[in-house]
Amino acid sequence: MIHARGLTKRFGEFTAVDGIDVDVLRGEAFGFLGPNGAGKSSTMRMIGCVSPPSAGTLRILGMDPAADGPAIRARLGVVPQQDTLDLELTVRENLLIYGRYFGLSRALVRERADELLDFVQLTDRAKDKVEPLSGGMKRRLTIARSLINDPEILLLDEPTTGLDPQARHTLWDRLFRLKQRGVTLVLTTHYMDEAEQLCDRLVVMDKGRFVAEGSPRELIARYSTREVLELRFRADEDISVYGEKLAGLVERIEVLPDRLLLYTDNGDRTTEEVHARGVRPAGTLVRRSTLEDVFLRLTGRTLVD
Amino acid sequence: MTAATREPSRPTRDGSAGLLARVIALPPISPRRAGYLVERTWLITRHTWLIIVSGFFEPLFYLLSIGIGIGALVGTVTVDGQLLDYTVFVAPGLLASSAMNGAVYDSTFNIFFKLKYAKTYDAILSTPMSAADTAAGEITWALLRGMFYSAAFLLVMLALGLVASPWALLALPACLLIGFAFAAVGMAATTYMRGWQDFSFVNLAVMPMFLFATTFYPLSTYPEPLQWVVACTPLYHAVELVRGLTIGLVDASLVVHVAYLAVMGLLGLRVAAGRLEKLLLR
Ligand SMILES: Nc1ncnc2c1ncn2[C@@H]1O[C@H](COP(=O)(O)OP(=O)(O)OP(=O)(O)O)[C@@H](O)[C@H]1O
Ligand SMILES: [Mg+2]
C-alpha cells in the first residue's frame, strides 16, 4: 500500500525527515511514534500527497504522488494534526462539500454524511456552525470527514489529541472496526496506550530517523525488561543520590524528575534488594513494561512533555 | 479522473504569438472540480445572501449622484465627434469599474482570509482537487457574482434610458471578461501578501484607476503623454470596451481591449495557481 525508500523532507537547510524506509501492507495498522519535532507530521503529509518529497522514492497504492497525486488522494482519508474544518459552513455541510470535492454524487454524499454524523455522535449538531463546537467535537467531525470517500488508507495525525477518555475509547473502537473492514490505518500518536491498542506494527522516530521498528510486543521485548519497578520519593529529596546508591542493582535505571525507574525481570525481588541497600522510597510500584519505557530508552525523553 | 482537462501544451510557433502562448499556458484545470468550489461558496452564500445583495447598491448610488446629479451640471460630452448626455457617458464607466471592484474585493480580502487564517485550501488540497482547480473555482465564483451585479446595473441603465445601442447586450459578457481579468490578477497578488497591511497596495492600485482611467471623463481631457499612461491601465480598456458597446461606438479598437483583458486574466490565473501550489504544498 505504502512503499518508501530513502524518503527525505528538507525545509531549506533543515532536514525534517532523513531518508526513511517504510512498507505498509494492506489491512495493517501502522504507527509513527516520536517526540515533538521528530518528523511524524512531515512524513504523513508526504504520504498524503500534499508535500512533495525532497528525495527518495515514494509509492502509494502503487502510484507516484508526483504524477498521480489526485488519483491517490481520491483513495485516502486524511485527519491532519490541526483541524482544517470549513468554519463558514455547518457541521453537515462540511461533510457534504468535502464529499463533493471527491466527485461523489449529491445523493451519495447526503447518505454518507448522515451515517458518519451518527458514527461520530454529532447528529444533533448537524445544523450548527462549526466554530462554536468544542475541540473534541471538531476532532470527531474531522474524522468523520476523512471517511466520506470510503478510503482505502486512513492517515491519522494524532487523532485523539484533545479528546476526553470516553471519546478516545469510542474512537479506538471505531478505528478497530474500520480495520476489520480492511481499511489500512496509518497513525501518529503520543499516547502509548493508543499505539499498543491499535498498531500491529510501529516505528519510533527521532530527529527524522527511525530508531526502532516492530510490533509493540517485540519492541518491549527488545528494548525493555519484563517488569518495571517505580520508586517515588518526596519532592524535597534529591533523587539522583538514590540513583547512585542503587547503581548496578539492575541492568538499567532511569532517573526522572519525580521518580526512579528500575528495569528488571522480577520486580518483587528488586524491591527487596532496594530496601536491603537502605533506600526508603515514599512509594513503590511494580508494573509491566510498556511502550512508554521503550520510548524513554530510545529517545531519552518522555512522550508527553 | 476522467474529466476533461485542458492540456498545458500549446503549439509552439515562432515569434511573439508563440511566446505569448507559452507564457500563458495554464496547468490542467478540471472544470468539474472547479465547479465543486463554486458549490462551496454557494452553500455559504445561502447563509449570507444579504451581503451579496447589498453589493449591488454601491454602483447604483454612484450613478444617481454623479450621473444624474453632476450630469445636470455638466450637460454633454463629446466622444468621437458624437454629442452624448453625461449620464449616458458615465454609466458604462461605472459599470466597468464596479465589475473591477467586485472582482478585486472577492479575490483579495476573501481569498487572503481563507488562505492564511481559515486553512480552507489546506483541506481542499488533500482531496483530488488541484491548486489550479481551486484557483479557477474561486475566480469563477467572483465572475458569477459580478455577472449578477452587472446584469442588475444594465437593467437600471435600460430603465433610465441610458442604453443607446443593442450592442449593449454584449456589455454583460464584457463585464464577465473584466471580472475575470481583475479577479485572476487580484488572486495572484493576494498570494504574495504577507499581512493585512499589504492590502493598502490594493487600494493604491484600484482607487486611482477608478478616478483617472476615463471613468468620469474622456481620454482627450489629458495632454498627449498622460494619455499614453492612462491607456496602459487595465481599467481604461475595461471602461472603453463597455462604453463602446453601450453607446454603440463599435470599431476594431474593441478587439484590442478584449485581447488586453484576456491576456491579463490568463496570466493572473497561471500565476495564482502556481503560487497556491507553492504556498500550500510544502
Ligand atoms: N513548513 C515547514 N517549514 C519549515 N520547517 C518545518 C515545516 N514543517 C515542519 N517543519 C519542521 O520539521 C520538523 C518536524 O516537524 P513535524 O511537524 O514533522 O514533527 P512532528 O513529529 O509531527 O512533531 P509533533 O509531535 O510536535 O507534531 C520540526 O522541527 C519543524 O519545525
Ligand atoms: Mg506532528
Residue-wise pLDDT for A72-84, tens only, equals: 999 999 999 998 9
Rounded to a whole number of angstroms, the CA Rg of chain B reads 20
Secondary structure letter of residue A202 according to DSSP: E
Q: In Å, what is the CA distance from A216 to each residue of A192, A197, A203, A213, B158?
A: 9, 9, 9, 9, 76
Contact B33 A69 (CB under 8 A): no
A264-279: pLDDT as tens digits: 888 888 888 888 888 8
Pick from A238-252, B3-17, B209-223: least confident: B3-17
Residue A94 pLDDT exceeds 90: yes
Give yes or no for residue A15 having a pLDDT over 90: yes
pLDDT of residue A302: 58
Instruction: Over range B151-157, report the average pLDDT.
Output: 87
Residue B12: which pLDDT band, with cuts at 50, 70 and 90? Answer: very low
Q: B205 and B59 in contact (C-beta within 8 Å)? A: no
Q: How far is the CA of A207 from the centre of ligand 1 (A)?
A: 10
Residue A205 CA to residue A35 CA, distance in Å, equals: 8
pLDDT at B104 over 80: yes
Asked whether the beta carbons of residue B282 and residue A51 sit closer than 8 angstroms, the reply is yes
Q: Show Cβ contacts of residue B38 under 8 Å, excluding neighbours closer than 6 positions.
A: B137, B140, B141, B144
Minimum distance, in Å, between the CA of residue A282 and any CA atom of chain B? 50
Residues 6+ apart with CB under 8 A from B36: A97, A100, A101, A103, B129, B137
* Model pLDDT, residue A7: 95
Q: Domains in chain A, please, with CATH?
A: 2-220 (3.40.50.300), 225-288 (3.30.70)
Distance CA A260, CA A253 (A): 7
Indicate whether B18 pLDDT > 80.
no
Nearest CA-CA distance, residue A138 and chain B, Å: 14
For residue range A231-241, list pLDDT tens digits in order: 888 877 787 78
Structure confidence at residue B6 (pLDDT): 42
pLDDT tens figures, B177-208: 999 999 999 999 999 998 888 888 888 888 88
C-alpha distances (whole Å) from B187 to each of A29, A90, B101, B127, B236 are 41, 26, 13, 21, 20
CA A167/CA B90 separation, integer angstroms: 63
Residue A28, pLDDT score: 94
- Identify which has the larger pLDDT, B280 or B181: B181
Report the distance separating Cα B217 and Cα B215, nearest Å. Answer: 6
pLDDT of residue B165: 82
> In the prediction, which pLDDT does B24 show?
64
pLDDT at B23: 64
Query: pLDDT grade, residue B59 (50/70/90)?
Result: confident
Does residue A124 surpass a pLDDT of 80? yes
Checking if the pLDDT of B231 tops 70, the result is yes
**Pick the residue with more confidence: A14 or B102?**
A14
How many C-beta atoms lie closer than 10 Å to residue B119's C-beta? 18
Assess whether pLDDT exceeds 80 at residue A139. yes
Percent of chain B with pLDDT over 90: 23
Ligand nearest to the CA of A157: 2
Give the ranges where A102-256 is alpha helix by DSSP (H). Answer: 106-119, 135-146, 165-180, 192-198, 216-223, 239-245
Which of A51, A89, A98 is closest, CB to CB, to B127?
A98
| Chain B residues with CB-CB distance to A88 below 8 A | 44, 47, 118, 120
What's A129's DSSP letter? B
- Does the C-beta of A11 come closer than 6 Å to ligand 1? yes
Of A198-207, B90-99, B123-132, B218-227, where does mean pLDDT reach its minimum? B218-227
Higher pLDDT, B161 or A62: A62
- B130 contact residues in A (CB cutoff 8 A): 69-70
Nearest ligand for residue A36 CA: 1
Ligand 1 touching residue A9 (CB < 6 A): no
Contact A70 B44 (CB under 8 A): no
Q: Taking an 8 Å Cβ-Cβ cutoff, which residues of chain A contact chain B?
A: 11, 48-52, 69-71, 73-74, 76, 78, 80, 82, 84-89, 93, 96-98, 100-103, 149
Q: For A136-147, what is the mean pLDDT?
A: 92
Q: Cβ(A184)–Cβ(A47) under 8 Å?
A: no
CB contact under 8 A, B33 and A48: no
Confidence of residue B1 (pLDDT cuts 50, 70, 90): very low
Residue B63 confidence (pLDDT): 82
pLDDT at A49 over 80: yes
